[in-house]
Structure 1
Amino acid sequence: MEDPVSSTIEKIKLQEQDKEAKLKEKRELEATIATLNKAIREAAAHAEKSEQGRENLTQSTDSLRRQKMLEECRRDALSAQLNSLKNELKVLQAKSSTEISKVWQMRSLFCKEVHNAADACDVWTLLMKPGCAEPVSRNVQMKAEMPTGSENENRLQAAIERRVKSLTERDRLATEPDNGEEFLRSYVKPNGFLRILRPFSTEIKESEPIKFSTSQAAKRTMPSVFRNKNIDSMPWYQPYIVVTSVAVFLIYFCVLREENDVDQEFSKTLYERIKGLEKEQLLQSYKFNKEHGHSVIEIEKRLEEIKAEEAKLAV
């Protein structure tokens, strides 16, 4: 009887072990399936995120491509505009060079005409301050008869006098720049006579700045502010009285005067004005020194003194 019972018990144990093994395998399988499902879900989410990122990248690349095309169009337009401006600049430079050459030609012609007119006019009349724009011409009359010796001497003497007068006037105008330099624009011929190039215009050029050093404003002198014009009217004892008064005031205010409540208010510290500020700062310092390993002996002494003072005030 014992053998069948023991065999039955063994069979039951084996069945239970088989059941436990199967349950264990089933649980492991379920755990593996759950892990796989989780990994699948994560992979799907990652795939969705990758797809969304790919779409965003595609949109950004499209927008950048469009922006690049716009920038290329703008660059082409600006380059075309720059080329047109360069061509216009070249045309303007050529035109300006031609106009400048024309101006110089006109100037040379004008100088020649002025020289011719100066040779045909009286030098003394041109040296005078011009009252009209037209030069006074010489009255030269051609005579059929040949001049005599006395007439030649008179003409020579008159020419010498005119030459001396013109040289004197030239020197006078050169030494007076404010009055005569504006009307003297000449040079000396090899024979010593003056040749007038052109009368000078005294008009002010508004487009050019006025130089201060050569203007009338630079010649004006302002009186000194620190100069005492009435120094003779001051009595001789005034400085002594002022010094004595100031010395007496300073001696009384700084040495002899006793302190009052206002002076005592000035001598108070911030801890005396704000109640509890010193204790709060000492507590903060105590906490900081404890955390960083510093000495707190003096802080503890001061805290004990503050506590004793507060206890006295409370009593």
Structure 2
Amino acid sequence: MLYAPFLKNQNSTLTDEAVENSITLFTATFALFIPYLFLVMFFYMARKTDNRQPHYIIQLHFVGCGSLCFLGTFLFAILLLVFQSSNLFGTAFENFYFINFLCTLIFKLVISSPVLISTIFYHLLFVTSLQRLILISNAKVGMQLLTGRRLGLKIAILYLIALISGISKLIHMTKPQYLEVVMLMVTICLFGISYFFIRHIERRLIASAHTTVLRQTVPIVAIQSLFTLIELYAIQSQKPTSIIYCVRTIETFSLSFLGPLIMILGSRSKCRIVWAIATCRWDENYGRGELYTSNQTPMDISNAVSLSPTPTNRF
């Protein structure tokens, strides 16, 4: 397991192997955390292109959960390095039950977080596919059911269900999670139906907006499907629990890291903003959203960055 060195040395004296393993973990986490920090920054700076679109809140939750996973692991690696590199903490706090209990609790939360966050990803992608299909088939009903406060309430309920499912996954680590498999299959079917409907939309601007959302989401679903198949193979082959946990951890970090990147690459307007930032030609108006008037929003996601206000189209 990723944190096996800490488990082995948490009640023992300082060893060179423990320090070396802690430094390796910190270096690997730092090497991934810095590029991910730039991806999140680019995603945030390009938010004005679609921050009034129905799908943006779901994408924001997706990136937020991934950020918690990366940030928690990074901070844990720092604490682990400090604890393994100094005997001061071990000798000073060994008689304090509350501090030991708190450290153990934090350790268990960090260990469990990849599994819990991967479960949340399944639910968020399902809500995205359901929202897209309803908006395509009946925009008025979709705006009433899956936008604004109603969407926030459904996401809150989703987190509760995902938490229960994640705890069940932790308890039954070597058993297939059929709920997630069924949810993933339904998500793929909903996206397939949405793509079929998009091809029959006569208004090109609306079709372009829906297509952009699919480009931002379908690759993430494909990556999740690949890891789900690997996980099912590991479970059916009766692999050790550590292997299954490692697959789920890699799945969570891969989706967390690639999620913002795919969302940026899937939107031409976001790509233009990121390119402008990378080439030092970025204008503050992009970040402040001053390209549009107060009562108008971008015409569509693919052509959001323009020099003049465009008609409203919240799809």
TM norm structure 1: 0.24
- Higher RCO (CA 8 Å, separation ≥ 6 residues): 2
**Which structure: greater helix fraction?**
2
TM norm structure 2: 0.24
> Which structure has the larger Rg?
1
